[in-house]
Amino acid sequence: MAHLEEFCTITASATYHPTGKTPLGFRVDTAFEGTATSPHWEGARPVTGLDYAVVRADGHSNLEIRGRIGTGKETVFYTAGGVARPGEARGHMFPQEWMVFETANEELAFLNGALAVAMGELNGPDLSLTVYLVSA
């Protein structure tokens, strides 16, 4: 049976860059930046990234994300994908993501073989996301 362990919490601010209607839906590239806190390090580390989202006809968004936590030798890169369910109001979404990581940080090297899931809320520009490591 799978087990989830909370890895980190991300809070960020999003900036929307709409492209427009494409054959797959309405394309919106969303840059984000904020901080990540975790029991695996002290204090908050900066988070930056870009979400290449496509809003489908049913209001859900397909997500394709590239991000980074930290700076310098402390950097953890991540790739994520998933779907965001629409909320009641425009700009209110509930992202659900899978994540994989890449880092040169020896203390966080276990992430190089890890899979994570993340769930959160996007309300206008305000993003909050909790990331859980998946283990057997």
CB 61 within 8 A of CB 88: no
Encode the chain (136 residues) as per-residue pLDDT tens digits. 889 999 999 999 999 999 999 999 999 999 999 999 999 999 999 999 999 999 999 999 999 999 999 999 999 999 999 999 999 888 899 999 999 999 999 999 999 999 999 999 999 999 999 999 999 8
pLDDT digits (tens, 9 = 90+) for 95-125: 999 999 999 999 999 999 999 999 999 999 9
The closest alpha carbon to 35, from 60, 13, 57, belongs to 13
Q: What is the pLDDT of residue 88?
A: 87
Rounded to whole angstroms, the Cα distance separating 35 from 11 reads 6
How many domains is the chain built from? 1
Q: What is the pLDDT of residue 128?
A: 98
The pair phi, psi for residue 111, each rounded to 5°, is: -70, -25
Q: What is the pLDDT of residue 89?
A: 86
Structural domain that includes position 72: 3-135
Q: What is the pLDDT of residue 56?
A: 96
CATH number of the structural domain spanning residue 50: 2.40.160.20
User: Which residues lie below 8 Å from residue 75, measured CB to CB, with a gap of 6+?
Assistant: 68, 69, 103, 104, 105
The closest alpha carbon to 28, from 108, 91, 100, 102, belongs to 91
Q: What is the pLDDT of residue 31?
A: 97
